[in-house]
Amino acid sequence: MNAAKMSPRKPADSATMVSELMMPHQVNNLGHVFGGVVLSMVDRAAAVAAMRHSGHPSVTVSIDRVDFKEPIQSGEFVTCLAQVNFVGRTSMEVGVRVEAENLLSGVKRHTTSCLLTFVAIDRDHRPCEVPRLDISEPEDARRYREGQRRREVRELLDRELEAGEVGPRGKAAP
């Protein structure tokens, strides 16, 4: 890998927007857009952000958190805004904000927030190193710290579950 390809990049360099007009076949009996439709858009936007950052094919390894804050209706114009928040050695946490726009009134609503982890892969489909993040902007530094903390907490919980210290296998279980 050449040095230029590995030079640090700003989160804004990975910023990605994916938009789609919601149609009647995408809603449930309540008239709300299926969560899976939104997640498909989120995954595609996040994948592009991860590939823009890493310069490698990048695969979803985990959808870490999804908050459906408000329903989306048929006829609304949905936009997913994705960018890399945090990077490890080969993994990247991508944050996605979803907005729904009523095209007649122009009103936009923040409907969904998601966090996903992607891994960059090489030609042999093995994880490969990604560039560092340039977090000189205070907002980028805050997002980076939060991503780092989420990773620490996830790894701690994984270790506790592995050791049988939590839940049905642990001492605290009924």
Part of the chain binding ligand COA (CB under 6 A), chosen from 13-21, 30-38, 55-63, 95-103: 55-63
Does 60 sit near ligand COA (CB under 6 A)?
A: yes
Number of chain positions touching ligand COA (CB under 6 A): 12
Beta-carbon neighbour count of residue 5 at 10 Å?
10
Q: Could you give phi then psi for residue 147, rounded to 5 degrees?
A: -65, -40
Q: Amino acid identity of 21? A: L
Does 59 sit near ligand COA (CB under 6 A)?
A: yes
Task: Give start and end residues of each alpha helix (H) in the chain.
Answer: 35-54, 138-162
Exactly one of 33, 80, 119, 135 binds ligand COA (CB under 6 A); which one?
119
Q: What is the CA radius of gyration of the chain?
A: 18
Does 54 sit near ligand COA (CB under 6 A)?
A: no
Residues making contact with ligand COA (CB under 6 A): 59-62, 88-91, 117, 119, 121, 127
